[in-house]
Structure 1
C-alpha cells in the first residue's frame, strides 16, 4: 500500500511538472518608457498580474516575461501595464494616467506601435523549410539558387515563407540547397545571409530580419496614426504566439528639441547636416535658427559663431563632451572639424551643467563624431564649388567583434581658385589645403560586465594664404611689395573616456575622461606676425548615483585643467601656465511634472583665484505638450586677447592693453551671469504636429574684457569693463509640417547688446538687432527602387548693425553709423539612388548681396587707414557647389 501511495505521489508530481512546463509561456513585447522609474513600474505591473519574471529594457523598449498561461495571459499583463501609464503593442494608457507620470517618464507617444496583422507561423512538411523573402524577385532568386544546388524542383511561397524542395538525396541535400539560398541573400532555418549580401538586395527584397522565421509582416508607419486600439487582437493565444517582436519605425527628425532635458537642448542629426554643403563645423549651422554665422574679416575667409547675441568665445565648444575649440584654437578651430565626420550635435542655450566645466556662459555646443550604428558603413564624399574649393571625405565605421567597434575618419580639402568678386585686388578667400585624420576605438559591454571605454586620436595640418592677388607665397615677404596673409595650423589630440556601471544598480556609475591637446599656429598679416602654441591636459572624474530612490539623483566629482600658452605678437613674447583643479556636485530632483537640476562647482585657478560657479535649471510640464523652463547660472573665463581678436589683425590698427593689475595680460578674468526662460508648446496645425518655442535670455558681465574699436580708427584697445555690460536675446521659433514630407521652420530673433565703454554706453558693433529666418525642406516619397529627391532652402533676413566709429578718418575712409539690412538665400537639391549613391547641387548667397568696399583704403594696404576687419555682410557673390556621396 505504501509503495502504491508513493508511486501515485511521484506520478502526480510528474504530471504536475509536465503540465506546468507546458503552460509556462515566454514572450517578448514592445512597451514604451524612458528611465529606471519606468522599468520599476512596468515590471511591477507585470508581476502583479501574474508574470513569474519580467525584464524591461529602455534601450530596446522590450519587455521579456514568463507566465503561467493557466492563471493569466499576455493580454491581461499588457492591459495592466497600460493602466499604470505605458503604451504597448495592444493597449494604450489613458491621457489622464500618462499625464500623471513623472516628467522623466513622458515617452514619445507618436508614432505608436503600428503594424498590420501578422499571420501565425504556418505548419510545414518534412520537405519544406522556412526561407525569408518578400516578392516575386525573391521567389525567382530562391528557386534559381535551389536549382543551382541540385534541386530537381522548388516552390517558394511569399505568404507562408516556405520553400518546398524536391531533390535526390544521393546527389545533394537540404543543407547544401539552403546554404546556397543563404549565399544569394535569404535567411533560412539552417543558414544566415551575410550582412553585405543582404544589404545589396533590391529594396523590394529587404525583408524584416527581426521577425521569427516563417512569419511575414507588413510593418507600416504613419506619422499621425493614432495609438493602437484595445481590440487589436481578439485571440489572446494567437497574440502571444505571433507578436513576439515588432519593429518601431520612427521618422528621423532633422533637429529635435528635447522634451526630457531640463535645459533648452536641440539635437541636430545628420539629416539636418545634409541640408547644406556642411564642409566643416562652422557651416553646420546654416539651416539652424539658434546660431548666427558670419565672416570675421575680408581676407582670412573664416567664419565665426554667435549665440544669444554674444561672440563664439562665450559658448563652450566641446567634442565628445571634452573641451575642443578654445584658447589659441578659437579663430580657426571650427574649420578643423569636417562636417562629414559629425554624427550629431547637441546645442544647449544658457548655462550648461557644472559637470562639464566653468567656461560655458551663453551655452554649449557638443559635437559627436561618427560611430558604428546598426551595421558597418563606409562612405566617400566628393565636393567642389565654382570658386575652386574641392574636398574629399572618407569615413568607415565597422564592428570588430561583439564588443569592439572602430571609426576611421579621413578628410582633405584644397582651395585652388583665386576669387576676387569685387575686383579690389584682394582675394575673397585664401588658397591652401588641409589634411585631417582621426581614429576612434570603442568597447561596450555595459549589459554584462558594466564596462565601456572610448579612445580617440586625431591630427590636422592646415595652411592658408591670402591677401592681394599679386602676393606670391613662394617669394620671401621682404622681396615683394604685395600685402599677404599666411596661416599655418597644426593640431594633435588624444583622448579616452572610460565608464563602469555597477551591477544590479543601473542608476549608479563612474566615468573618467582624459584628453591631451597641442595646438600650434604660425601666421603673418602683412608685416604683422603672430605665433602661438597651446598645450592642454584635461581630466574629469564623475560619480553618479541616487539618494534613496531614482527621484533623487546626484553627480559629483573632480576635474583638472592644465593650459600652457606661449605666444609671440610682433616682437613681444607672452607666456603663462594655468592650472585649475576643481570639484563639483549636481543634484537632480524629479517630481510628477517637474525636474530640478541644481549644481555648483569650485575651481582653484592659480592666476584667477578661487571661483565659485552655481547653476540651476528647472523644467515644469504644465501639460504633456506645454513645457516651461527656467535657468540661471554663473560662468567665468580667461580672455586670450590676441588669439580671439585675429579678425582685426587684417588691418593696421595698433593693439593696446590698458591693464588693471590682473595676472593674464594684466587683465582680470571675465565673469558673467546668465538668466533664461522659455516655453515650448506642441499643437496641431493643418492637422499635423507643430512646435512653438519662445525663449528669453539675459547675460550680465563683470570685468568683461572689452575690445574697443571706437577710441581711434588706428587702434584696438583692450580693457576690463567698468560699469555695465549686458546682452538680451529674444527668440521665437515655429516648426511645422503643413503637408506630407514638407517641413517648415520660421524664427525671429531680437538682440539688445550694450556695454559701458570708456567713451560711454554703446551698442556692441556688428550685431544686428533684428533677424528673420525661414527654412523649407521637402522630400519625395521613396519609390520601389529606393530613389528619392530632397529640396531645401533657407532665407535669412539680417537687420541693420551698429558699425565702429571711423569719423576721425578722412571722409573717404569712414563708415555710416549703421549698416543696411540685407537678405541671403541658400538652396540645395539632392537625389538619392538605391540608398548608396547621392548627388547634390546647391547654392549659397543666391541673392548675390555683397558688402560694398569691405576693405578700407584697399589701394594702400600698408598705410595708416587700411582696415579689412570692418565686415558686416557677405564679401563674395553667389556660390554654386556640386557633391557626390557613395555609401557601402
Structure 2
C-alpha cells in the first residue's frame, strides 16, 4: 500500500512538471483609444521576470511563458500603468490592449490659446502648462517669485527699496504681459505690480503660458504674452490642505484651504494666504534693507453650482491687504512721508470678483464677468502716491461646431477708472481729472480641422478705445502633426496692441529722484509677431525625451520707450520714432526616465532692441540669454524626493546716472540655485526643507554700491548746475543723485527653509 501511494505521488508530480513545462507565447498590439499604435510600451510578467517593449507598430511578443494564470503589467509614459490577469495553457495566445491616456504632462487640458478646452497636443496655439507640483519643487511666498524657473519668463524687480516688479516674457517688459485668473483679466494695470502677490498657492491647479501676441482674444496688454492662473475646482480639491514654511531670514508663509458643500447643489473652496517678513537685514552695508519687509493676507473663495444638463456656473472672489516697506535701517512709521529718514511704504487694499455662467439655452453660450478695485497709499521718501483703479469686465462667448469648423464669437466690454495724485491724471490747468476708459470689442475665431494632421486657426478682433479709437487685431495659426502625434509643427502670425498704462509708465519715477516726463500724448503700440514651434517626442525604451523649440520675431511700431539715458534726472516717455525688434529662439527639454528621474531644462537666446534714426539701442534690463532647470528624483522605497532647481542669466544693460558713475554698465552672468528634500510621512503629510540661493549670489558683488547715494537719499548735499544736472563735488565725487533703479536681480542671499504640507482627501 505504501509503495502504491509513493507511485501515485510521483505520477502527480510528473504530470504537474509536464504541465508547467508546457510554454507558449503571448502576442498582440497596443494602441490608444483612437487606434494609434503605442510604441515603447513596457509589457512584463514580474513574477516570471520576463518582459519586452512594443515596437514602432505597437506590436509585442512574450515568449516561453509557462502555462498558468499570471499578472501581466503594461506601462507607457503618458498612458500610465495597466495590470491584468491572463491565463495561458501552452498554446499561442493573442491579446491586444487599449490604453487610455492619463492626465499628465503629455495630455494636459488647456484653455488659454483658444478660449476652449482642448488637449495641449491638439491646440493650434502653443501653450506651456505648469502644474502645482512643478512649483512645489521650489516653494515661494508668491506667484511672482514662483515664475523664476520657467524658461523665457523672468520676474523683474524694478526697485531696490520697495522690491516691486513685473513679469518679462521673451525679454518684453511687464506692460506687455497680461495676467489672468481663471481666464479673467483681473491682474492688470495698477495691479500688475502688486496683484501677483497673495494668490494662495494651495488653490492653484496649473499655470498656462502663451508666449506671443494674444490680443485677438484678450485685447490690450496681451502683446508679449499671457499668464493664466487656473485655480482648482472645488470638487477636485482636498477636503483640507495646509502648506506652511519658514526661512532662516525669519520669513513665514502659510497657505490654507478647505472645501465644503452647501446643500446638494453647491460646493465651495475657501483659501487663505499669510506672509510675514519683519526682520530688517543689511548684508551689503549700505544702511538700506536688503529685502522689503511685508505683512500680507489674502482670502480666496470659489463656488461651483450644480445645474441642469451640467451647465456651468462658477463664482469666485479674492481680497488682498498688504503693508510693505523698505528703506534705511532705522526707518519707522513715524517717519512715513517725511524727509528725515528715507523709507518707501506701500499700503495696498484690493478686492476682486469673477464668474462664469452658461446661459440656459440649447446653444453653448457663456457669460463671463469680473470686477476689481485697487486702492494704494504709498510714500517714496517724502513723495506720496495715492491711487485708485476700478475695472469692470463682461464677455459673452458663443461656441458652435459646424462640420470641420469650431467657431467662437464673442462680445466684450471693459471699463477702467483710474485716478492718482500725480500730473498723469491732471488737466492742462493742473486740476485732477481721473481717466475713464471704455473698451467695447467683438471677436471671431474659426478653428478648421482639415484632417487628423492639419489644422488652421483664423481670428479677428475689433476694439474701440474711447481714448484712442478703432483697433483691429488679426491672427492666423497652422498646426501639423504626424500620425503618431510624436511630431508637431505650429506656425503663428498675428498682431498685438497696447494702450499706454499710466501707472506702469509712471511708477519707476516715484521710487527715486528722477522726474517722469511725457513728451507727447502716448499713442497705442502695435506689433506684428511670427513664431515657429516644433514639438517632438522620442521614446528610447521606457525613457521619454520631449523637445519643444520655438523661434520668435516681433516688430513694433509706436513702441513706448522709457529713456533713462538722455537726462539722468528724468525718465522720458515717448512713442519711438522708428521701430523695435524682439527676436530669438527658445528650447525646452523634458526627459522622463522609468526609474523616476525627471529633468526639465530650458534656454532662450534673444535680441531685444530699438532703432531710431539709424541708431540701434539695446533694451534696458533685458538679458540676451536665460536658462532654467528643474531636476527631480524620488527614492520610492523611502518616500524621499530631491529637487534641484535654478536659473542662469546673461548680462543686461543697466541705467547709469553719469559718465563718472562707477557702477558697471552691464550686469555679470548670474545664477540662483536651490535644493530641496521632501519626505512623505504617511498618506497625508509631507515634510520639506532645503537651501535657497546655494551660491549666495547678490547683485552688489563686483559693484562699489547698488543704490546711488544711499547716504543722502533726499539729495540734501547734492549740488546742481543750471541745467539741473548733479555736479561733481568733494562730497559727491561721481556726480550722482539718489536712485534705486539700478536693479537686475534679487538682493537676498543664501538661506535655509523648512516646511510642512498636509492634505486630507
Q: What's the TM-score, normalizing by structure 1? A: 0.70
Query: What secondary structure is seen at the aligned counterpart in 1 of 2:457?
Result: strand
Please state how far the C-alpha of 1:789 moved relative to its aligned partner: 1.5
Instruction: Assess if the C-alpha contact under 8 Å between 1:255 and 1:268 holds in 2.
Output: no
Instruction: Pick the aligned partner of 1:791 from 610, 634, 642.
Output: 642
Please state how far the C-alpha of 1:739 moved relative to its aligned partner: 5.2
- Give the structure 1 partner of residue 353 of structure 2: 494
- Give the structure 2 partner of residue 747 of structure 1: 602
- Give the structure 2 partner of residue 77 of structure 1: none
Instruction: Assess if the C-alpha contact under 8 Å between 2:642 and 2:678 holds in 1.
Output: yes
Task: Tell me how far apart the structure 2 counterparts of residues 219 and 248 of structure 1 sit (CA, whole Å).
Answer: 17
Please state how far the C-alpha of 1:500 moved relative to its aligned partner: 4.5
Query: What secondary structure is seen at the aligned counterpart in 1 of 2:202?
Result: helix
1:359 paired with 2:359, answer: no
1:95-244 correspondence to structure 2 within 5 Å: 95=37, 222-224=75-77
Greater alpha carbon shift after TM alignment, 278-287 vs 368-377 = 368-377
Please state how far the C-alpha of 1:227 moved relative to its aligned partner: 10
Q: Deviations over 1:130-188 (max 9, x none)?
A: xxxxxxxxxxxxxxxxxxxxxxxxxxxxxxxxxxxxxxxxxxxxxxxxxxxxxxxxxxx
- Give the structure 1 partner of residue 420 of structure 2: 567
1:826 paired with 2:687, answer: no
Task: Tell me how far apart the structure 2 counterparts of residues 219 and 343 of structure 1 sit (CA, whole Å).
Answer: 34
Instruction: Assess if the C-alpha contact under 8 Å between 2:280 and 2:329 holds in 1.
Output: yes
Query: What secondary structure is seen at the aligned counterpart in 2 of 1:611?
Result: strand
Q: Deviations over 1:802-831 (max 9, x none)?
A: 2224334xx3x3433322212221221111
Greater fraction strand: 2
- Give the structure 2 partner of residue 3 of structure 1: none
Please state how far the C-alpha of 1:544 moved relative to its aligned partner: 0.8
1:535 paired with 2:390, answer: yes
Instruction: Pick the aligned partner of 1:627 from 488, 509, 524.
Output: 488
Greater alpha carbon shift after TM alignment, 856-865 vs 458-467 = 856-865
Please state how far the C-alpha of 1:280 moved relative to its aligned partner: 1.5
Task: Tell me how far apart the structure 1 counterparts of residues 612 and 187 of structure 2 sit (CA, whole Å).
Answer: 28
Instruction: Pick the aligned partner of 1:616 from 476, 482, 500.
Output: 476
Instruction: Assess if the C-alpha contact under 8 Å between 2:80 and 2:101 holds in 1.
Output: no
Task: Tell me how far apart the structure 1 counterparts of residues 623 and 446 of structure 2 sit (CA, whole Å).
Answer: 38
Task: Tell me how far apart the structure 1 counterparts of residues 320 and 343 of structure 2 sit (CA, whole Å).
Answer: 23
Q: Deviations over 1:435-457 (max 9, x none)?
A: 21121110244xx5242200112
Instruction: Assess if the C-alpha contact under 8 Å between 2:240 and 2:759 holds in 1.
Output: yes
- Give the structure 2 partner of residue 582 of structure 1: 441
1:348 paired with 2:220, answer: no
1:458 paired with 2:458, answer: no
- Give the structure 2 partner of residue 607 of structure 1: 467
Please state how far the C-alpha of 1:367 moved relative to its aligned partner: 0.6
Please state how far the C-alpha of 1:372 moved relative to its aligned partner: 2.4
Query: What secondary structure is seen at the aligned counterpart in 2 of 1:271?
Result: helix
- Give the structure 1 partner of residue 192 of structure 2: 330
Identify unmatched segments of 5+ residues in structure 1. 1-81, 96-107, 118-216, 236-242, 660-665
Please state how far the C-alpha of 1:230 moved relative to its aligned partner: 13
Task: Tell me how far apart the structure 2 counterparts of residues 694 and 535 of structure 1 sit (CA, whole Å).
Answer: 39
Bigger RCO of structures 1 and 2 (CA < 8 A, at least 6 apart): 2
Please state how far the C-alpha of 1:850 moved relative to its aligned partner: 1.4
Query: What secondary structure is seen at the aligned counterpart in 1 of 2:309?
Result: coil
Task: Tell me how far apart the structure 1 counterparts of residues 80 and 596 of structure 2 sit (CA, whole Å).
Answer: 19
- Give the structure 2 partner of residue 876 of structure 1: 748
- Give the structure 1 partner of residue 544 of structure 2: 689
Task: Tell me how far apart the structure 2 counterparts of residues 632 and 491 of structure 1 sit (CA, whole Å).
Answer: 37
Change in Cα spacing, 1:477 to 1:285, as seen in structure 2 (3 Å) is: closer
Instruction: Assess if the C-alpha contact under 8 Å between 1:465 and 1:473 holds in 2.
Output: no
Query: What secondary structure is seen at the aligned counterpart in 1 of 2:743?
Result: coil
- Give the structure 2 partner of residue 816 of structure 1: 664
Greater alpha carbon shift after TM alignment, 728-737 vs 288-297 = 288-297
Q: What's the TM-score, normalizing by structure 2? A: 0.81
Task: Tell me how far apart the structure 1 counterparts of residues 506 and 743 of structure 2 sit (CA, whole Å).
Answer: 14
Instruction: Assess if the C-alpha contact under 8 Å between 1:774 and 1:795 holds in 2.
Output: yes
How many residues in Structure 1 have an aligned counterpart in Structure 2?
665
Please state how far the C-alpha of 1:251 moved relative to its aligned partner: 7.5
Please state how far the C-alpha of 1:583 moved relative to its aligned partner: 1.0
Task: Tell me how far apart the structure 1 counterparts of residues 151 and 83 of structure 2 sit (CA, whole Å).
Answer: 39
Task: Tell me how far apart the structure 2 counterparts of residues 411 and 229 of structure 1 sit (CA, whole Å).
Answer: 41
Query: What secondary structure is seen at the aligned counterpart in 2 of 1:602?
Result: strand
Change in Cα spacing, 1:112 to 1:631, as seen in structure 2 (3 Å) is: farther
Query: What secondary structure is seen at the aligned counterpart in 2 of 1:337?
Result: coil
Instruction: Assess if the C-alpha contact under 8 Å between 2:76 and 2:542 holds in 1.
Output: no
Please state how far the C-alpha of 1:218 moved relative to its aligned partner: 8.1
User: How large is the Cα RMSD of the aligned pairs?
Assistant: 3.4
Query: What secondary structure is seen at the aligned counterpart in 2 of 1:293?
Result: strand
1:638 paired with 2:580, answer: no
Instruction: Assess if the C-alpha contact under 8 Å between 1:633 and 1:675 holds in 2.
Output: yes
Task: Tell me how far apart the structure 2 counterparts of residues 398 and 219 of structure 1 sit (CA, whole Å).
Answer: 41
1:403-802 correspondence to structure 2 within 5 Å: 403-445=265-307, 449-478=309-338, 481-500=340-359, 508-547=363-402, 549=403, 551-569=404-422, 573=432, 575-592=434-451, 593-623=453-483, 624-659=485-520, 666-685=521-540, 687-738=542-593, 740-756=595-611, 760-781=615-636, 783=637, 788-802=639-653
Q: Deviations over 1:830-883 (max 9, x none)?
A: 112112111111322211111122211211111261111111233221122221
Q: Deviations over 1:488-545 (max 9, x none)?
A: 1111112221115866xxxx51100111111111111112221111111100000111
Please state how far the C-alpha of 1:284 moved relative to its aligned partner: 2.3
Instruction: Assess if the C-alpha contact under 8 Å between 1:731 and 1:747 holds in 2.
Output: yes
Identify unmatched segments of 5+ residues in structure 2. 1-27, 48-69, 90-95, 109-118, 719-736
Please state how far the C-alpha of 1:371 moved relative to its aligned partner: 2.4
Instruction: Assess if the C-alpha contact under 8 Å between 1:668 and 1:720 holds in 2.
Output: yes
Please state how far the C-alpha of 1:325 moved relative to its aligned partner: 1.5
1:36-115 correspondence to structure 2 within 5 Å: 87=32, 93=35, 95=37
Please state how far the C-alpha of 1:231 moved relative to its aligned partner: 12
Change in Cα spacing, 1:767 to 1:546, as seen in structure 2 (3 Å) is: same
Please state how far the C-alpha of 1:629 moved relative to its aligned partner: 0.5
1:887 paired with 2:759, answer: yes
Please state how far the C-alpha of 1:115 moved relative to its aligned partner: 11
Task: Tell me how far apart the structure 2 counterparts of residues 297 and 780 of structure 1 sit (CA, whole Å).
Answer: 42
| Bigger Rg, structure 1 or 2 | 1
Task: Tell me how far apart the structure 1 counterparts of residues 447 and 571 of structure 2 sit (CA, whole Å).
Answer: 45
Task: Tell me how far apart the structure 2 counterparts of residues 226 and 869 of structure 1 sit (CA, whole Å).
Answer: 50
Change in Cα spacing, 1:878 to 1:685, as seen in structure 2 (3 Å) is: farther
Greater fraction helix: 1
Instruction: Assess if the C-alpha contact under 8 Å between 1:276 and 1:286 holds in 2.
Output: no
Greater alpha carbon shift after TM alignment, 686-695 vs 314-323 = 686-695
